[in-house]
Amino acid sequence: MFIDNIISFNSIEVSVLSIEKRRIIGDIKYDDNHFKLIFTFKEDITADKNIAGLIVTMPVINFTYFSRRLVLNYPLSKTDLNLIKNFVEINAREVFINKIINRRYDFIKEEYIPKDNDITEENACGITEVTASQIIDDKSYDEMDQNNVLIMSSGGKESLLGYGIFNEINANGKNYAFFFEESGAHWLTAKTAFDYYEKNFKNVIKTWSNVDRFYHEMLRHIKILRQDMINIKADDYPIQVFIFPIYIFLTLPLILKYKIGNIIMGDEFDDPREMGKFHGIEYYYGIFDQTSYFNEMMSEYLRNKGINTRVYSIVYPITGSLEEKILIGRYHDLYLNQRSCHSCHEKNGLIYPCGKCSKCLGILLFIEANGGNPKEILYSDDDIRLLERRVLRAKMRLDPDELKYTETKLGFINGNPNDYGHVNGIHILPYEKTMFSLVPENFRDNIINIINKYSDGTYTLKNGTWVKT
């Protein structure tokens, strides 16, 4: 059976070693090996073993598809356990379809690539059994302030735009920018924005972790991976698809400390026409934790856990191109700190984007199509000159209409950008009756007023076509 052949661990066990004023340390035991997972805060926090255990567990979800058992050696509630079981199954399907079958790079050894008759619901969901050592009741936490907002911040256009909008409209509450510093080069992407925020804004929060080292260690023990490939520079992880749950659970001690009622994600528009099933198997194209489904799941979980904090995005109905347009035109000071690149590098005290990865190519398309100047965020003359050639050769990770809209607008391909005009509009999704229905009422109208000034109107999906209303 396929799933038995790829199992690399009999069990992965999660334990909490210590909870300090500014640090949480966990132990990950995978068969006879151990890894000490560390999370360090810039300020004093309070966390019990339940919260600490949940934080330590989230990075592990990425690898549970390859383990027969996940053992949680800390107290957790039925609410916690049900969420983790859901995460484990969803992660399994995402890894099976997006990393093993529809892979972008040759990370997988050829002998482990599934045959057609291996593509089944059973193999997709995996066999991982989740067990807990102690079940406790959920607590009752203090009421959260629904005007206090925490923005997941990374130096990318979504988080910069979100921060800019809330700084403008949220006079009645406090805005917190949360940065996560992973060990390794990933921090370079966020560092420019973080340094700017620290100099210019209040309530800037950062947490450090050695989670990148943990990822690398686990990848070394997964037998289906080509070990000669796991260290290459690429715009994709070999296995990991569960990234944002780590950030959200890391914020819980801060959410409780500052009574924050809103966690703002950077999930932009994904065209539902492109989100079908794979061989009848439900999946999320490797972006489950960047979907409204994930946000709703987390909001319901927190509510059931006794924490009245909502998780949502304010850019979910608009494309990256429109986000870039607003950022350039309205929050230019924040735009100057944008680094949306998988392979940033440092030179003479400045952090430069590589200009070549799929992320950079998309950002260059958006900036050029909206009349911006890529040099302002340190793209080179060569990056701009070679953009057309690189885009036409690359495997771009944009919705097809968004790609065609920018390519036709810049003259890279023949066509009329107006044929894809919805790309510059606000989308009312099939599950919505009104625009921005997923955003709380206390912020909704002000957000709509800002975005309306830059959009080309509102669009709904009719008979498979986005129609202006």
Contact 402, 408 (CB under 8 A): no
Rounded to whole angstroms, the Cα distance separating 189 from 178 reads 14
| Nearest one of 375, 397, 383, 267 to 328, comparing CA atoms | 375
Contact 122, 60 (CB under 8 A): no
DSSP assignment string, 56-119: HHGGGGGGGGGBSEEEEEEEEEHHHHHHHHHHHHHHHHHIIIIIIIS-SSS-B-GGGSPPGGG-
**Residues listed for the chain:** 469
**pLDDT tens-digit series, residues 309-333:** 999 999 999 999 999 999 999 999 9
Q: Is residue 16 helix, strand or coil?
A: strand
**pLDDT tens-digit series, residues 350-389:** 999 999 999 999 999 999 999 999 999 999 999 999 999 9
Q: What is the pLDDT of residue 234?
A: 74
Q: What is the pLDDT of residue 155?
A: 93
Q: Which residues pair with 25 in a beta bridge?
A: 18, 38
Neighbours of 44 (CB within 10 A): 10
CB contact set of 347 (below 8 Å; sequence gap of 6+): none
Q: What is the mean pLDDT of each run of 10 residues along the chain (469 residues)?
A: 94 98 98 97 96 98 98 98 98 96 90 94 96 95 96 96 98 96 84 97 97 96 93 84 95 98 96 91 91 97 97 98 98 97 91 94 97 98 97 91 97 96 97 96 98 97 95
Report the 3 state secondary structure along 234-255.
CCCCCCCCCCHHHHHHHHHHHH
Q: What is the pLDDT of residue 206?
A: 96
Q: Is residue 261 helix, strand or coil?
A: strand
Rounded to two decimals, what is the model's pTM?
0.96
First to last CA, the chain: 51
Q: What is the pLDDT of residue 195?
A: 97
